[in-house]
Amino acid sequence: MNIKAYIFVFSFISIAINAFSQQFIEVKSIRQSTRDYSEFGANYFEDGIVYCSNKREDIIISRQGSENQSFYNVYFIPPSKISKKQNTEFLDASINKLYNDGPLTSNGSVLVFARNYEKNKGAKDKTNTVGLFVSNKINNTWSEPIPFPYNDEKYSLSYPSINKEGNTLYFSSDMAGGFGEYDIYVSFFKDEKWSAPQNIGKSINTSSKEISPFIFQDNRLYFSSNNDSLNKFDVFYSDFIDNNWQTPFRL
- How distant, in Å, are the alpha carbons of 151, 169, 170, 195, 214 from that of 188? 15, 6, 9, 5, 15
pLDDT of residue 88: 63
Convert the pLDDT of each residue in 180-214 to its tens digit.
Answer: 999 999 999 999 999 999 999 999 999 999 999 99
Q: Which amino acid is at 62?
A: S
pLDDT in the model for residue 92: 64
Question: What are the structural domains, with CATH classification, of the chain?
Answer: 39-118+126-250 (2.115.10.20)
pLDDT for 3 equals 38
Smallest CA-to-CA distance from 132 within 163, 167, 177, 102 is with 102
Pair 14, 30: CB distance under 8 Å: no
Q: In this structure, are strands 168-173 and 193-194 parallel, antiparallel, or unpaired?
A: unpaired
Report the SS3 class of residue 169.
strand
Give the pLDDT confidence score for residue 117 in this predicted structure. Answer: 82
d(CA 171, CA 56): 28
Instruction: Provide the residue type at 170 as one letter.
Output: Y
Distance CA 64, CA 45 (A): 27
Which residue stretches of the chain have pLDDT < 50?
1-21, 59-62, 120-121, 123
